[in-house]
């Protein structure tokens, strides 16, 4: 070792702070309070929205799909089922709004599975925050995407002749009901993403569940025209209750007990699959 290197090493040792000095600095500081459950969830929700900012293609499914479904089903079935597209859009639009949101809820699971595969959630679990915050925040962030989907469908419906008997307030209440149910349904895909090994598997299983829920409902036609065995399924299908509720509040007609059934279904889904998701979240790899 040269004399010059030895001098440099001695200078670095002399300038390095002692352990006592470091301890004094840390002791004098005030430890920041950890974020509470609500604030932590909002922070993770903001993370989900920042993903959209950096990858705007994520908005493709909440803009193009609602437009495509609305136009396709209106002009494909309108004349045959209602005599005209103008008459059919009054019946279809609240249902197609529900379908558009429910179809994109499955991306909650695929996005989470991708984060798990990349090891991101290993870091989240090491943070001193409320344990479910990462999952709840992700679902809250997706609620913004669902709202965009509902807004796009509403605007297109108005352009096609849809009329809101319940006024603006009815539309807002209907969208809130959709968001509540979508949030609760998202816990199913969250649990699947923590249970299955790939995002493709999550998407495949999600489609197997979503397809009968949406097409085996009252979205497109009146259940009275269906065979008895299918009516029995449609009448207990939570999506049917959601569609009936949204149609009623947006159309300004009596809602009956459909809203209460939607809220009960939503609470049950969160209680069951939220609990299962947190149980699985502790051991996921």
Given a contact cutoff of 8 angstroms between Cβ atoms, the answer to whether 189 and 109 are in contact is yes
Given a contact cutoff of 8 angstroms between Cβ atoms, the answer to whether 157 and 66 are in contact is no
pLDDT, averaged across the chain: 86
**Torsion angle, alpha carbons of 183, 218, 201, 49, to 10:** -30
Question: Could you tell me the pLDDT band of residue 26, with boundaries at 50, 70 and 90?
Answer: low
| Max Cα-Cα span within the chain | 97
Phi, psi values for residue 55, rounded to 5°: -130, 80
Q: Does the pLDDT of residue 100 top 50, yes or no?
A: yes
- Please report the pLDDT score of residue 18 as a whole number: 67
Q: Does the pLDDT of residue 3 top 90, yes or no?
A: no
Alpha-carbon span 220 to 233, nearest angstrom: 15
Question: Could you tell me the pLDDT band of residue 11, with boundaries at 50, 70 and 90?
Answer: very low
* Mean pLDDT computed over 43-60: 82
Give the ranges where 83-132 is alpha helix by DSSP (H).
85-104, 106-118, 120-126
Alpha-carbon span 135 to 199, nearest angstrom: 16
Q: Does the pLDDT of residue 155 top 80, yes or no?
A: yes
Q: Does the pLDDT of residue 16 top 80, yes or no?
A: no
pLDDT digits (tens, 9 = 90+) for 61-91: 888 888 998 999 999 888 888 888 889 999 9
Q: What is 33-75 written as a DSSP string?
A: PPP-HHHHHHHHHHHHHHHHHH-GGGGHHHHHHHHHHHHHHHH
Question: Could you tell me the pLDDT band of residue 205, with boundaries at 50, 70 and 90?
Answer: very high
Name the pTM for this structure: 0.84
Q: What is 231-245 written as a DSSP string?
A: HHHHHH-HHHHHHHH
Question: Could you tell me the pLDDT band of residue 24, with boundaries at 50, 70 and 90?
Answer: low
């Amino acid at each position: 070792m040269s004399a010059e290197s030895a001098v440099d090493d001695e200078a670095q040792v002399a300038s390095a702070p002692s352990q006592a000095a470091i301890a004094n600095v840390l002791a004098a500081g005030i430890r920041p309070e950890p974020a509470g459950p609500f604030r932590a969830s909002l922070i993770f929700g903001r993370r989900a929205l920042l993903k959209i900012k950096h990858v705007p293609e994520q908005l493709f499914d909440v803009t193009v799909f609602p437009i495509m479904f609305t136009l396709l089903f209106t002009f494909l079935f309108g004349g045959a089922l209602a005599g005209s597209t103008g008459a059919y859009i009054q019946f279809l639009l609240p249902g197609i709004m529900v379908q558009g949101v429910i179809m994109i809820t499955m991306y909650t699971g695929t996005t989470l599975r991708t984060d798990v595969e990349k090891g991101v959630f290993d870091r989240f679990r090491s943070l001193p925050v409320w344990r479910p915050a990462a999952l709840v925040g992700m679902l809250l962030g997706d609620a913004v995407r669902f709202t965009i989907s509902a807004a796009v469908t509403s605007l297109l419906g108005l352009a096609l002749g849809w009329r809101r008997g319940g006024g603006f307030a009815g539309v807002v209440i209907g969208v809130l009901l959709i968001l509540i149910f979508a949030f609760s349904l998202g816990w199913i895909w969250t649990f699947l993403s923590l249970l299955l090994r790939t995002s493709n598997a999550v998407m495949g299983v999600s489609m197997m569940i979503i397809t009968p829920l949406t097409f085996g409902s009252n979205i497109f036609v009146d259940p009275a025209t269906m065979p008895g065995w299918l009516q029995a399924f449609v009448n207990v299908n939570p999506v049917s209750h959601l569609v009936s509720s949204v149609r009623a509040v947006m159309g300004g007609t009596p809602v009956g007990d459909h809203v209460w059934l939607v809220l009960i279904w939503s609470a049950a889904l969160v209680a069951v699959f939220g609990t299962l998701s947190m149980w699985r979240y502790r051991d996921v790899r």
